[in-house]
């Protein structure tokens, strides 16, 4: 199927900038919702993937932006109970996250631990949780350290 589209009547750079942030924030609203319906879980998945794609279209996209997007996608899939997809995006996050940043690397390991727990893979989950804790110890910003530690505590 080949759908021909007319050139847009809007600035695509601004559209990517808007939708990368809008979809990311919309995903967080759904993540934070106490009880989600199945359609809301699907919307949460679609929003995180849309955000990630729009980020990759931005000229100012660095490796850190997809790292955060992959992490959010892993969390969303874990919340939706889709362990294989959670692990896929956690691995993508681990693959791209700079190793010199313990906060983001800790969250990459947190995502993998969460996915492995969901898949009932205890040893890889424990190893990633251990790595995430080591990273958390190295985070110098106290607020960021607390965020990471609090999320790690939800895994035990």
Each residue's pLDDT tens digit, 67-102 = 999 999 999 999 999 999 999 999 999 999 999 999
Query: Coil, helix or strand for 90?
Result: helix
CA-to-CA separations, 70 to 1, 93, 94, 111, in angstroms, rounded: 29, 5, 9, 9
> Is it the case that residue 144 has pLDDT exceeding 70?
yes
Distance CA 112, CA 23 (A): 23
Q: What is the pLDDT of residues 41-75, one digit of tens each?
A: 999 999 999 999 999 999 999 989 999 999 999 99
């Amino acid at each position: 199927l080949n759908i021909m589209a007319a050139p847009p009547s809007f600035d695509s750079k601004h559209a990517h900038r808007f939708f990368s942030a809008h979809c990311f924030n919309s995903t967080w609203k759904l993540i934070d919702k106490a009880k989600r319906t199945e359609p809301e879980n699907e919307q949460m998945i679609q929003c995180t993937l849309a955000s990630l794609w729009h980020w990759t279209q931005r000229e100012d996209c660095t490796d850190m932006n997809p790292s955060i997007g992959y992490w959010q996608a892993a969390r969303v899939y874990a919340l939706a109970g889709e362990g294989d997809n959670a692990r896929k995006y956690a691995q993508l996050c681990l693959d791209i996250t700079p190793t010199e940043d313990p906060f983001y690397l800790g969250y990459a390991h947190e995502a993998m631990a969460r996915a492995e727990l969901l898949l009932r893979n205890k040893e890889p989950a424990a190893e990633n949780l251990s790595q995430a804790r080591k990273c958390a110890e190295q985070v110098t910003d106290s607020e960021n350290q607390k965020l990471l530690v609090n999320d790690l505590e939800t895994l035990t």
